[in-house]
Homo-oligomer: A and B are copies of this chain.
Amino acid sequence: MWAMSTTSARPYRGQSAEERRAARRVALLDAALEVVADKGWNSTTVRDVCQSAKLTERYFYEAFGDRQGVLLALFDHVAHEVTVLVLDAVKTAPEDATERSRATIGAFVDALADDPRRMRILITEAPDDAALQERRRFAVLAFARLLQQQAEAFYGVPGGNKDAELTSHVLVGGFGQLLMAWQLGDVEVSRERLVDHVSKLFVAAAPVRSGDQSSSTAAR
């Protein structure tokens, strides 16, 4: 299978073999972004991606091995991009917890709204592929855990607490749902109000405690 660069790997059109490979990979990934955003994960075919990237199947399989490979790589790529943008915003955000939460949520909304394809990739378009679903599930879990930690730090409660865990799952999922409805036009509000409302929901939800004061069986 390594019929090509077994021996030399010459430059071609002023680019080294590595550069060319990298460029093709980027082109393919970019094409995949376009196609998946347009037709969804499951309707995205290898041919579609190649045609959009103006490359032939050979280079597709050189870069990603198989169809699932490009889908996973695309998800990871977009998720990473958005993560970087959000973490950047968090770093430069004010100390105040409420303002910080607003900045974080705002950065997230911007990252997705600036390029609607990201929104479709990460939130709107539903993956059928099991591996892809896992990927998304872990991403959501990670985000929920991050939220949980922030809430625990803010309220000074011990780590690993169930309340924060439950709440963060609801907030992450709910945020995603609202973003989706917003993008699809089911909800008509300004970006500012969206961010404002979600921030306030986060603040309002944080102190909620269950399992220790009313009808409940849970531990603790």
**Which residues of A are interface residues toward B (Cβ below 8 A)?**
40-43, 126-128, 130, 133, 137, 140-141, 144, 162-163, 165-167, 169-178, 180-181, 184, 186-187, 189-190, 192-194, 196-198, 200-201, 204-205, 207-211, 214-219
CA distance A208 to B210 in the complex (A): 20
Contacting pair B193 A216 (CB below 8 A): yes
Describe A's contact surface by its main secondary structure. helix
Task: Given A126-B127, A162-B193, A189-B162, check contact A177 B178 (CB 8 Å).
Answer: no
Residues of B contacting A215 with CB < 8 Å? 192, 196
CA distance A201 to B169 in the complex (A): 12
Closest to A124 in B: B133
Contacting pair A193 B175 (CB below 8 A): no
| 12 pairs, A vs B, C-beta closer than 8 Å | A40-B128, A126-B126, A166-B193, A169-B174, A170-B171, A174-B177, A190-B216, A192-B216, A197-B210, A201-B205, A204-B204, A204-B205
Closest to A144 in B: B181
Contacting pair A218 B204 (CB below 8 A): no
Contacting pair A163 B197 (CB below 8 A): yes
Task: Given A128-B128, A141-B186, A193-B210, check contact A175 B166 (CB 8 Å).
Answer: no
Closest to A176 in B: B173
Task: Given A126-B126, A174-B170, check contact A186 B137 (CB 8 Å).
Answer: yes
Q: Return A136 CB to nearest CB of chain B, in Å.
A: 9
